[in-house]
Amino acid sequence: MKKIFNILIVSVLLLSACTLTVPALFGVSIVKVEYQDLENLAVYLRNAGDGYTVKIGDTALDCSFDQDDQDLLVCIGGGFEPGEDLVIKFFDDENGDKPLAELTFVAPDYPAELQDTDDDGVPNAEDLCPTDSRKSAPGVCGCGLPDTDSDGDGTPNCEDAYPEDPTKTKSEPSEDEETEKDTDEDGTPDSQDQCSEDPEKTEPGECGCGTPDADGDEDGIVDCNDRCPSIAYEDKIGDPCDKDEDNDGVFDGADQCPYDPFKFKAGYCGCGKPETDTDKDGTPDCKDLCPENPEKIKPGESGCDDECSVDTDEDGTPDCEDCCPEDENKIKPGYCGCGEPETNSDEDKYPDCIDECDFDSDKKHPGFCGCGEPETDTDGDGKPDCVDECPFNPEKIEPGLCGCGCPETDGCTEPDGDGDLICDCWDECPTEEGIPIYYGCPGPI
């Protein structure tokens, strides 16, 4: 005999994914409704009998409790947005296309991890510019401003004083500003100050900018030129401080080598050593390790003679001094060795031969994320984002069963508030200890 039921319409307002308290229909109870992603809703149903089919909206798949007598049925419906009506229809096997009952819901809000305020396709949880639909990261100019570079000079318009001129990026001071500039703050603008960085002088004087023209002994000779700045040079005949210890005709005050009668300047070799250049190669003997060979100033492998004349690679460096005698491009092995160029494709500190990421200037080794991918660790948990499935939660690197925002409670892979080993997300009595056959409730007394 065909079953006859009155059509029941129930309206329920859902603000977020949660356990529902509604009358069970035909032995079927609704556990919760939640978004799977930005379009698809999942409805969790628990069955107390068989012979019923459930349909979620017009685009949803049919869900039947006749399949293997499953206790929990998850029905997925697509194309929903928060605030839209969501209709759940119940059918029995004998009633064809006419539903026995309908439940009408208002689709819940997106959970925080799926909300996308600027509707740019990047959820707020991953969007560093959640209110700027053009950007998901601040870039150079920050959120709300595009990083446009109109003149292609590498400086975005937001920092380019000349956004249409690729040859200029910074503003030059106006002629009036340049005229009024006073670097040393002495009251005289730089345009009129010959000592613009010396607040004590506006002209070099005898001692130059930065050195005062003081005359400590008041003899008319400024201290910077006075060999005896504390003894007055009154009679102008000779200088009481001048001596010539080496009797070379140059007073000691002007003699860099006051005890060397052959030199009054140190030269290359220093005081006490002659500037002799025996081989006349332009390098004095004191600096020339081959003072009698004008072709060499260092011995090389063959010494100072001319036997080291072979240059196999014709690079201008004889083999005896060439650590890469068969490589015309190198005289030292460098990092890569002879015969291997020191090419540095990404212009970092490491040549390609030892750079595992030779086209990534920020990395030498692939690391966890590989070349071209930064080792960013947003939540600072020691796992870079590229291998961290929960990059904004330092306590988790995998969602687990509870998701990135929820901890995995000890003793249960999901939270179990009443400790009855039935996790809260499936427990219809999450605060009372119960048994599985009553869905976590104590059961009849």
Each residue's pLDDT tens digit, 32-55: 777 777 777 777 777 645 666 777
User: What CA dihedral angle connects 6, 11, 17 and 19, to 10 degrees?
Assistant: -50
Lowest average pLDDT, out of 231-235, 429-433, 441-445, goes to 231-235
Give the tens place of pLDDT for each residue, 355-387: 888 888 888 888 888 888 898 888 888 899 888
The answer, yes or no, to whether residue 207 has pLDDT greater than 60, is yes
Cβ neighbours of 89 (radius 10 Å): 21
Lowest average pLDDT, out of 5-19, 83-97, 162-176, goes to 5-19
Q: CA–CA distance from 152 to each of 157, 159, 433 (Å)? A: 10, 13, 68
The answer, yes or no, to whether residue 18 has pLDDT greater than 90, is no
pLDDT score of 15 = 32
Exposure string of 170-209, with b = 16+ CB inside 10 Å and e = fewer, is eeeeeeeeeeeeeebebebebeebebbebeebbeeeeeeb
Alpha carbons 439 and 426: distance in angstroms, whole number = 7
Give the tens place of pLDDT for each residue, 300-344: 666 776 656 678 888 888 887 888 999 999 989 888 889 899 888
The answer, yes or no, to whether residue 217 has pLDDT greater than 90, is no
Give the tens place of pLDDT for each residue, 146-184: 888 888 888 888 888 888 888 877 655 555 555 578 888
pLDDT score of 7 = 30
Tell me, what DSSP letter sits at residue 329? T
Task: Return the bridge partners of 29, or none.
Answer: 46
- Tallying the residues shown for the chain, one arrives at 445
User: What CA dihedral angle connects 270, 274, 280 and 281, to 10 degrees?
Assistant: -20
What is the pLDDT of the chain when averaged over all its residues?
Answer: 76
Can you tell me the mean pLDDT for 270-298?
89
pLDDT score of 284 = 92
The answer, yes or no, to whether residue 296 has pLDDT greater than 50, is yes
pLDDT score of 27 = 60
The answer, yes or no, to whether residue 69 has pLDDT greater than 70, is no
Alpha carbons 110 and 93: distance in angstroms, whole number = 34
3-state SS, residue 77: strand
Lowest average pLDDT, out of 97-111, 406-420, 423-437, goes to 406-420
Q: What pTM does this model have?
A: 0.28
Domains and CATH numbers, the chain: 8-114 (2.60.40), 122-160 (no CATH)
